[in-house]
């Protein structure tokens, strides 16, 4: 199953997330693209993924095209924080 989610905070920042979950799998991959309000890629943004139950964290950065990937996440609820120059957005799943 794939889920597209677009979130926007004011007019300063926009992020698009893609979460891929496999049936009967023990892990999930979380990936997406980070875009500014003009829909231009945001390179070198930090994506912090924190498991709410265990507080385990993973940090990845977006590439020059704004793409990022966080592979092999255990099932659960996560806080997702994206930080770029003078911009921060937090999503809870």
Q: For the domain that residue 29 is a member of, what is the CATH number?
A: 2.60.40.10
Q: Quick one: pLDDT at residue 9?
A: 35
Could you list the pLDDT tens digit for every one of the 93 residues in the chain? 233 333 333 333 444 444 444 455 588 888 999 988 888 899 999 999 999 999 999 999 999 999 999 999 998 999 999 998 755 556 555
Total tally of structural domains belonging to the chain:
1
Domain that residue 31 falls in:
2-92
Instruction: Please work out, in degrees rounded to the nearest 5, the angle formed at the alpha carbon of residue 91 by the alpha carbons of 88 and 93.
Output: 165
Q: Quick one: pLDDT at residue 33?
A: 93
Q: Quick one: pLDDT at residue 2?
A: 30
Q: Are 28 and 70 in contact (CB under 8 A)?
A: no
Helix (H, G, I), strand (E, B) or coil at 40: coil
Q: Please give the C-alpha separations between residue 48 and each of 23, 26, 39, 55, 70, in angstroms, as whole numbers.
A: 25, 21, 21, 11, 9
């Amino acid at each position: 199953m794939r889920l597209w989610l677009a979130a926007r905070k004011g007019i300063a920042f926009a992020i698009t997330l893609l979460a891929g979950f496999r049936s009967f799998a023990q892990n999930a991959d979380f990936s997406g693209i980070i875009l500014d309000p003009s829909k231009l890629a945001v390179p070198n943004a930090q994506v912090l993924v924190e498991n709410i139950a265990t507080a385990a964290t993973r940090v990845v950065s977006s590439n020059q095209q704004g793409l990022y990937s966080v592979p092999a996440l255990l099932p659960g609820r996560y806080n997702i924080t994206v930080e770029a120059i003078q911009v921060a957005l937090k999503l809870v799943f």
